[in-house]
Structure 1
Amino acid sequence: MSEKRTALYEKHLASGGKMIAFSGWEMPVQYEGIIEEHEAVRYNAGMFDVSHMGEVRIEGKDATAFVQHLFTNDIGVLMEGQVQYGMMLYENGTVVDDLLVYKYSETDYFLVINAGNIDKDVAWIEQHASAFNVTVTHLSDAYSEIAVQGPKAESILQKLTDFDLSSIGFFHFVDGVVIDGAQCLVSRTGYTGEDGFEVYAPHDTILKLWDTVLNAGKAEGLKPCGLGARDTLRFEASLPLYGHEISDSITPLEAGLGFFVKLDKTGFIGQEALKAQKATGLKRKIVGFEMEKGIPRQGYEVYAGETLIGTVTTGYFSPTLKKNIGLALVGIDYTSMGTAFEVKVRKKLFPATVISKRFYQKQYKK
């Protein structure tokens, strides 16, 4: 099966992007290098092609009720122009996908879903739409998207628009922002732990903006960034990745994402399963840990003595903290701060200690 390509594919090649297969797409994993790109975002700015993400529009009289039914968070508190993070669940409480919901109005919502889950998510949404007076429009093929992230993201993008970007609050969006002469949907969410913007527009617009934004940010250290740095950045900020910290076998409560699950709101799919899990108590949970020796990786086994107690969901040598750190799903008896266990790295066990998952203090716009 051949991988799909975004509109920016040739731009990546021209910039020296090293391409890999990711969630059915051919995407750049790095250009100059993961460490250099990671540090660009932490200290200056980086730009990512995230056109592989999926988009779905929910419109109609029952749009609010339908999204509430699908979604773990409570969109009832959203004002128009706000964005909210949450999940869609199976009946058993495990995760179909995590996503962002953009509220245009009570009858109009824009959902941003993960690239690897697009077909599954759209089928899930359409399957449950029949009981509601809504129209579901799959827009993934209509949009390209870039993410400009880092402390200098605003000053760089501001050069290309008369719209006051400082007026877009964290987890807010504005549709119709004119950037370099073209209308765009601009949001301020981020997936790196830094301030930043997402720009959605037709493919030809994003194709032009890629070069324009890079030129505008050259003096401020803006670099094109690949999926490698995107993963190390989101991991340091303890932001989950589908297939790692959440999946169709891990619930949001086990992932430590209970804040985004409103168990007291009107029923959503999977709600009863999570209520039951909370009532009986978790048997396992995601924890943060550090190691002095050995670099943890996804799938590595975690032991207490000779007992297998869990697996690593993500692990790296942290470019910012200069430490070997990881996230692991382990038995509940091993989740207290300071708990010691061992991680199996290439057939050898290395000591690890449970620490806070807040590896890096997020630098979002307040």
Structure 2
Amino acid sequence: MSRPTPLRDVHEALGATLTDFAGWLMPLRYGSESAEHKAVREAAGLFDLSHMGEIFLTGPQAAEALDYALVGHLSALAPGRARYTMIVDERGGVLDDLIVYRLADEEFMVVANASNAEKVADELKNRTKSYDTVVDDRSQQYALIAIQGPRAQEILSTLTDADLAGLKYYAGLPGVVDGRQALIARTGYTGEDGFELFVANQDAVPLWHALEAAGEPYGIKAAGLSSRDTLRLEAGMPLYGNELSSDLTPFDAGLGRVVKFDKPGDFVGRAALEAVKDDPPRRRPRRLVAKGRRVPRHGYPVTRDGAVVGEVTSGAPSQTLGKPIAMAYVDAGADEGLAVDIRGSQEPMDLVELPFYRRNK
């Protein structure tokens, strides 16, 4: 049975279409997913992300433990800052992509994808046994609400005295929002400016309503998983299970920059990743824009002259571009004359650079 988030009653009252996602009952959309997408690009959207995992590491060797457990150099992270990183297996395959927040000198929070949260917590516990640190999976204690869009700071500033203007991208600070304690992070998964608010479960509903009310004059809309997916796709952000998997290394995914070989000591997967870091991948991540109106979807073959040269990992209509777009893995060297086989029809594609969409800063 799908697990509800603390905001289930809110979603039902708003008429959301609910669906199972990674074992959670989540809002797919509230009405028009294109309207939700547009609201995030032009004003602000409100997302329930309470399915994400929050795993804490505390203790004198928490930083060193994360350096060993993950591919990033987390001991170099300053308190109050966050970093995108990955956890890989001994073969270098990606088990999950993560955001790690350093909350204090000896306290970190690792945010994992819902489908992998339990696995990540178990791996961290196993990998850090020899370090003076405690791993505590607190996922059941937290709700996570995101407000994303160009008006997000204006809206949130009406509910908090926290220094939002001074909060850098990939940084977080503790604050009071509408009278409730929260970790306010300037992070997101939409390609827009915005904030993610980690709060106690019992504070989720009143905080959601406060954000709705504060955002109403600005055109805020509740937004579901469908618009979140099209927003992240336009921004060129990978999704675990689509662009990332245990069969791919960070280098296969074009994200080798997150692997920090210059950090002190060993880390899980280091030998395997060092062995392949200079190898040209057989297939490379590519971004495609359809010349026609038919939409390439996950799993569709990418072809050239009728021969299969790749596979679509994510695809959808782009509300911003007005054309279907896709991310795919394509054979190295196959950069021209690409098409996607959509139910037997070879639909021509243009190859473009990332991202499909970049916000004005």
TM-score category, normalised to shorter length? over 0.9
Q: In 2, distance between residues paired with 1:30 and 1:363?
A: 26
The answer (yes or no) to whether the contact 1:73–1:261 under 8 Å persists in 2 is yes
Q: Deviations over 1:193-216 (max 9, x none)?
A: 110001111111111111111011
The answer (yes or no) to whether the contact 1:195–1:363 under 8 Å persists in 2 is no
The answer (yes or no) to whether the contact 2:303–2:309 under 8 Å persists in 1 is yes
Is 1:349 matched up with 2:346?
yes
1:247 aligns to what? 245
Query: Which aligned segments of 4 or more residues in structure 1 are displaced greater than 4 angstroms?
Result: none
Q: Which moved more, 1:210-219 or 1:286-295?
A: 286-295
Equivalent runs, 1:7-22 vs 2, <5 Å: 7-22=6-21
Give the CA deviation at 1:59: 0.9
Give the CA deviation at 1:239: 0.7
1:307 aligns to what? 307
1:358 aligns to what? 355
Q: Which amino acid aligns with 1:315?
A: G
Q: In 2, distance between residues paired with 1:12 and 1:180?
A: 20
Q: Deviations over 1:118-173 (max 9, x none)?
A: 12111111121212121000100000010000000011011111223212111110
Q: In 1, distance between residues paired with 2:308 and 2:105?
A: 48
Q: Which amino acid aligns with 1:279?
A: D
What SS class does the counterpart of residue 122 from structure 2 fall into?
helix
Is 1:236 matched up with 2:216?
no
The answer (yes or no) to whether the contact 1:53–1:114 under 8 Å persists in 2 is yes
2:176 aligns to what? 178
What SS class does the counterpart of residue 140 from structure 2 fall into?
coil
Equivalent runs, 1:147-296 vs 2, <5 Å: 147-175=146-174, 177-266=175-264, 267-293=266-292, 294-296=294-296
Alignment RMSD (CA, Å): 1.3
Equivalent runs, 1:52-201 vs 2, <5 Å: 52-175=51-174, 177-201=175-199
Is 1:316 matched up with 2:313?
no
Q: In 2, distance between residues paired with 1:282 and 1:174?
A: 39
TM-score relative to the length of structure 2: 0.96
Q: In 2, distance between residues paired with 1:274 and 1:310?
A: 23
The answer (yes or no) to whether the contact 2:3–2:25 under 8 Å persists in 1 is yes
The answer (yes or no) to whether the contact 1:170–1:188 under 8 Å persists in 2 is yes
What SS class does the counterpart of residue 320 from structure 1 fall into?
coil
The answer (yes or no) to whether the contact 1:186–1:199 under 8 Å persists in 2 is yes
The answer (yes or no) to whether the contact 1:340–1:354 under 8 Å persists in 2 is no
Give the CA deviation at 1:363: 4.7
Q: Which amino acid aligns with 1:240?
A: P
Is 1:330 matched up with 2:330?
yes
Q: In 2, distance between residues paired with 1:352 and 1:91?
A: 37
Q: Which amino acid aligns with 1:193?
A: G
Q: In 1, distance between residues paired with 2:202 and 2:137?
A: 19
- Aligned pair count? 359
The answer (yes or no) to whether the contact 1:94–1:249 under 8 Å persists in 2 is yes
Give the CA deviation at 1:19: 0.5
> Which blocks of at least 5 consecutive residues in structure 1 are unaligned?
none
Give the CA deviation at 1:279: 2.6
Q: In 2, distance between residues paired with 1:14 and 1:21?
A: 18
Q: In 2, distance between residues paired with 1:353 and 1:260?
A: 28
Q: In 2, distance between residues paired with 1:270 and 1:318?
A: 36
> Which blocks of at least 5 consecutive residues in structure 2 are unaligned?
none
The answer (yes or no) to whether the contact 2:316–2:324 under 8 Å persists in 1 is yes
Q: In 1, distance between residues paired with 2:18 and 2:279?
A: 46
Q: In 2, distance between residues paired with 1:261 and 1:43?
A: 35
TM-score relative to the length of structure 1: 0.95
Q: In 2, distance between residues paired with 1:105 and 1:163?
A: 18
Q: In 2, distance between residues paired with 1:363 and 1:187?
A: 20
- Aligned residues with identical type, % of pairs: 38
Q: Deviations over 1:297-322 (max 9, x none)?
A: 11111122343222101111100011
